Structure 1
Amino acid sequence: MLNHFNIVGTKENLAYKQSDYYTKITDDSDEMTHQAIKGPSLQQTDKIKSENIPPALYNIYKKPLLLHQGHMQYLFDHEGRRFLDLFGGIVTVSVGHCHPKVVSALQDQIHNLWHTTTIYRQPRIYEYVEHLASKMPGDLKVVYLVNSGTEANDLATLLARAYTGNQDIISLQSSYHGYSSAIMGLTASQSYRMPMPVPAGFHHAMLPDPYRGIWGGCRDSLSQVPGSCHCPGDCVTSDKYVHQLEELLGNSVPAGRIAALFAESIQGVNGTVQFPKGYLRKAHEAVKKHGGLLVSDEVQTGFGRTGDFFWGFETHGVVPDIVTMAKGIGNGFPLAAVVTTKAIAEAHTRATYFNTFGGNPLAAAVGKAVLEVLEEENLQENCKVTGKYFIEQLMQLQKEHAMIGDVRGKGLMLGLELVKPGTKDPLEITETAEIMEIIKDLGILIGRGGRWGNVLRIKPPMCINKEDVDFTISALDQSFKQFENICQY
């Protein structure tokens, strides 16, 4: 049988969680049975970490978690405690931990063929790229399979430069597009920038942020910034932010010599920042006039997570020239992709190209199974329906806690920006970490992001349900109350 959590808080506030939520998930499936841990103990991992793990890889919690088992939206630690996973391995577990269909597809392939590389043809790879390409609009039909989001964005920069013959690339302030020496300049987040020179040719445009931007704005979300405009179509502020982009294009890059604009549909690492309605479409038009392409980074927003559409860029009414994707594409398996047009891919033939591990038979089998589960279980619709309920409950919670400065997002890509009550001053990162510790002790794993590390990021496996949302709201409410009592907020 499962070991349940030692719940912190009052019986009144947590009665729902104990009597209903845990009973439901305990009875839900025999597959929920906790297995004994195999491997080093928590104490042994302390020693191994101090001696063998890079110090840059830090523990997110003061009391580290040793996780060794997962099932759908749940994770288990070494003591058998079960956690509701609201971060999905940093927005990577899409259809659920150890989803049986994905596991079966991997098992079938692993007994047949592991690896050939791209110099040979292999049926799983061809089946997969055809299925993935069918999800793309317009002429986006050529699929490169790679291993990670960083690698995908690195390849996208190469393709944009090769096709246009231009070198300069623009991304938005506070964006995250990967962590490598080649594209560190593309990432415009100080937290992820090493103090060393980066390759030339990267520029960062003003972030059009409805909550903290100088002109505010309204966004495609049920939740708007208090006092914001409510434009029926494009937001009136979108032209102002695009004007700043045009100023950058007109001053900082050679005339008509831009290679690409990189943009996420919703900024992920920066704490679920959405742009004012109409911005991305108009930004695309501005970049096209200067000879550039639009690269849509769908690493976190793709595969139906935002609910209304399969790809986040569709919400903005644009068709990019290049799309990069990773994370949820493989439900945790190392897989990523770049999808573009035949014309752009043709520019890549000027040099020999291959990718040793990109889209090997194992990865392709997993990727294909993930697409099938998304379709068969209607997970995009679940993101839309459950996400709507989730953000409505978060908006109610915001009314009760002044430290919730902003609630934002779409589908199951949501964020809560925490501030010092009565201000927009970011909550200190140490205070946000303390809240996350309380939330964890109540049985929920949640993410953190934003420029100041003060945004709670909610990007769970796409199979969560209404009961999971109710459990989360109860735990968040209790966590905020406990923190407010300690800090007298």
Structure 2
Amino acid sequence: MAGILGKAIAGATGGNGSLSRSLLSQAVNGCRALMSSLPAAEPTTAPRMPDFAHTPAPYTGPPAEEVLALRKQYLSPSLFLHFKKPVMIVEGKMQYLYDERGRRYLDAFAGIVTVSVGHCHPAVTEAIHRQNSLLQHTTTIYLNNQIAEYAKELADRMPGNLKVVYFVNSGSEANDMAIMMARLHTGNWDLICLRNAYHGMSIGTMGTCGQHTWKQPMPQGFGYHHALNPDPYRGAFGDDGPRYAADVADLISAATPGRVAGFVAESIQGVGGAVPLATGYLPEVYKMIRAAGGVCIADEVQTGFGRTGSHYWGFQRQGVTPDIVTMAKGIGNGLPLAAVVTTPEIAASMAGRLHFNTYGGNPVCSAGGRAVLRVVDEERRQEHCAAVGAHLTTRLQALAAKHDIIGDVRGAGLMLGVELVKDRKTKEPAKAETAAVMETMKDLGVLMGKGGLHGNVFRIKPPMCFSARDADFLVEVMDVALDKL
């Protein structure tokens, strides 16, 4: 690289070392273009990242060290970083990210499963810019076409009688509202949740979470009851959904007045480590909950919009239709946007009081959300997730046959998990090893997600434009990283 830089400068100076500002800029930008085509690290044995025709813009902001110092001084001390040496991301394009030096990384985590159709997707960006130039904000006390048309377009993609849409700003807020709806509609208070679940960090949703990691040491969780997690890999009953469902019946009869407000579950547990629910679980539980007077809430914050490949919504994989659906993250491709969709009957239970959300359905966010729906359909992202996800799963399973530290490969479409264990029989979590592999993969150009209660699960949930060649590169890099353990 030093030789290339020297040649570029020599060419710009004519070899005499006298360099004008414009020529220096040309030389630097030429080097940035070259670096952007390379992985984040360039050892001779490293797998080659797929080519990508994009040159990142020159970065002119403060260096990473200064940004880190500012963050430590002015931002929450609870914030954490994934790597020993933090990566500073200043630009993104489709499935790739760039640091301040112009080095390119394959994004396998999509901003925590938030970038659905690709970083700065041109159709989404154009829709946002167009609306931003017309009207940045108004509220629901006025008419605006964006929110109304968006609500119809979203409802058109829902099954059954899920036809009333509430727009909010985050997944936590959506789940808060869904719980309030359930309690208002049924007149009951108790809610059944799952161990290992994650539904947000507000005071209301904190009680639903089934991991101590996300619970502040304060009164929370009144009226929430956590059932056995129907985990096919670590659960006591393997992939036998009805046996896990029996615990829900036991909870209703033993820990509640016999009547419940509802049941909430992710279709595939995200933060918990890409854990799919055991086969046949949801149909049995939904029947129990409804018999006890409750409603069924599906948290589609991470699994919605075709990411699982086989279906547009994750709950459809188990052949059920919930009464309330919450969604966020991929709904706006990174915009602060979320929604709750329910039936007219449940929505009527909210009509006894006024409802208002200052930013919910903001015109700019609505325009961006509408563009996301169009891209998912026009670019056939659901089918793409099914095909690329199947290819990646096959490659990961072959990697598991080679490396005993891989205990489980699971998930659906482009929502996959790879769990590392010290011993396949005891399933002891390989937490330190996971962190080490993740660090090496970052150095080789792949940014991974991590989750699970013990932090030993790779969460592979890239932007849905992620290609089969990207999948091959990811597996090859993971193979090199595992070899280094």
**Following the alignment from structure 2 to structure 1, what is the Cα–Cα distance between the partners of residues 356 and 254?**
38
2:130 aligns with: 108
**Following the alignment from structure 2 to structure 1, what is the Cα–Cα distance between the partners of residues 420 and 241?**
25
Cα–Cα, structure 1 residues 418 and 199, in superposed 2: closer, same or farther, change >3 Å? closer
| Residues 475-486 of structure 1 mapped to structure 2, 5 A cutoff | 475-483=477-485
* 2:228 aligned with 1:206: yes
**Does the CA-based 8 Å contact 1:335-1:358 persist in structure 2?**
yes
**Following the alignment from structure 1 to structure 2, what is the Cα–Cα distance between the partners of residues 393 and 92?**
24
1:258 aligns with: 260
Residue number among 116, 127, 136 corresponding to 2:149 in the alignment: 127
**Does the CA-based 8 Å contact 2:40-2:105 persist in structure 1?**
no
SS at match of 1:203: strand
1:463 aligns with: 465
**Following the alignment from structure 2 to structure 1, what is the Cα–Cα distance between the partners of residues 58 and 103?**
11
**Following the alignment from structure 1 to structure 2, what is the Cα–Cα distance between the partners of residues 169 and 9?**
53
Offset at residue 422 of structure 1 (A): 4.1
Offset at residue 238 of structure 1 (A): 2.0
SS at match of 1:39: coil
**Following the alignment from structure 1 to structure 2, what is the Cα–Cα distance between the partners of residues 45 and 250?**
54
SS at match of 1:263: strand
Identity of aligned residues (%): 48
* 2:244 aligned with 1:241: yes
Offset at residue 6 of structure 1 (A): 5.8
Offset at residue 45 of structure 1 (A): 1.0
Offset at residue 9 of structure 1 (A): 5.6
* 2:39 aligned with 1:5: yes
1:94 aligns with: 116
**Does the CA-based 8 Å contact 2:407-2:427 persist in structure 1?**
no
1:183 aligns with: 205
**Following the alignment from structure 2 to structure 1, what is the Cα–Cα distance between the partners of residues 199 and 205?**
8
* 2:39 aligned with 1:36: no
**Following the alignment from structure 2 to structure 1, what is the Cα–Cα distance between the partners of residues 161 and 210?**
30
SS at match of 2:166: strand
Aligned-CA RMSD value: 1.2
**Following the alignment from structure 2 to structure 1, what is the Cα–Cα distance between the partners of residues 159 and 424?**
45
**Does the CA-based 8 Å contact 2:300-2:313 persist in structure 1?**
yes
Offset at residue 199 of structure 1 (A): 4.5
| Residues 16-415 of structure 1 mapped to structure 2, 5 A cutoff | 17-18=47-48, 21-22=49-50, 24-25=51-52, 29=53, 32-217=54-239, 237-255=240-258, 257-415=259-417
Residue number among 421, 424, 431 corresponding to 1:419 in the alignment: 421
TM-score (norm 1): 0.90
**Does the CA-based 8 Å contact 1:426-1:452 persist in structure 2?**
no
Q: Deviations over 1:323-371 (max 9, x none)?
A: 0000000000000000000000000011111000011000100000000
Cα–Cα, structure 1 residues 90 and 259, in superposed 2: closer, same or farther, change >3 Å? same
**Aligned-partner residue type, residue 136 of structure 1:** M
Offset at residue 8 of structure 1 (A): 5.9
**Aligned-partner residue type, residue 214 of structure 1:** A
Aligned length: 451
**Following the alignment from structure 2 to structure 1, what is the Cα–Cα distance between the partners of residues 243 and 43?**
47
Return 184-193 or 88-97, whichever deviates more.
184-193
SS at match of 1:171: strand
Offset at residue 10 of structure 1 (A): 5.8
**Following the alignment from structure 1 to structure 2, what is the Cα–Cα distance between the partners of residues 7 and 115?**
43
**Aligned-partner residue type, residue 216 of structure 1:** G
Cα–Cα, structure 1 residues 6 and 463, in superposed 2: closer, same or farther, change >3 Å? closer
**Following the alignment from structure 2 to structure 1, what is the Cα–Cα distance between the partners of residues 312 and 377?**
11
SS at match of 1:457: strand
**Does the CA-based 8 Å contact 2:326-2:340 persist in structure 1?**
yes
| Residues 440-451 of structure 1 mapped to structure 2, 5 A cutoff | 440-451=442-453
**Following the alignment from structure 1 to structure 2, what is the Cα–Cα distance between the partners of residues 156 and 6?**
42
Offset at residue 127 of structure 1 (A): 1.1
2:456 aligns with: 454
For structure 1, list consecutive stretches of 5 or more residues without a partner in the other structure.
218-236, 484-489
Whose Rg is larger?
A: 2
**Does the CA-based 8 Å contact 1:305-1:383 persist in structure 2?**
yes
Offset at residue 423 of structure 1 (A): 3.5
Runs of 4+ in 1 over 2 A off after TM superposition: 4-11, 421-431
**Aligned-partner residue type, residue 62 of structure 1:** K
**Following the alignment from structure 2 to structure 1, what is the Cα–Cα distance between the partners of residues 43 and 417?**
24
Offset at residue 36 of structure 1 (A): 1.4
**Does the CA-based 8 Å contact 1:2-1:81 persist in structure 2?**
no
Offset at residue 428 of structure 1 (A): 4.1
**Does the CA-based 8 Å contact 2:192-2:225 persist in structure 1?**
yes
Return 192-201 or 244-253, whichever deviates more.
192-201
**Following the alignment from structure 1 to structure 2, what is the Cα–Cα distance between the partners of residues 10 and 423?**
37
Return 113-122 or 420-429, whichever deviates more.
420-429
**Does the CA-based 8 Å contact 2:40-2:103 persist in structure 1?**
no
Cα–Cα, structure 1 residues 165 and 387, in superposed 2: closer, same or farther, change >3 Å? same
**Does the CA-based 8 Å contact 1:403-1:418 persist in structure 2?**
yes
SS at match of 1:348: coil
**Following the alignment from structure 1 to structure 2, what is the Cα–Cα distance between the partners of residues 199 and 458?**
30
SS at match of 1:406: strand
**Aligned-partner residue type, residue 173 of structure 2:** E
**Aligned-partner residue type, residue 71 of structure 1:** K
**Following the alignment from structure 1 to structure 2, what is the Cα–Cα distance between the partners of residues 110 and 188?**
40
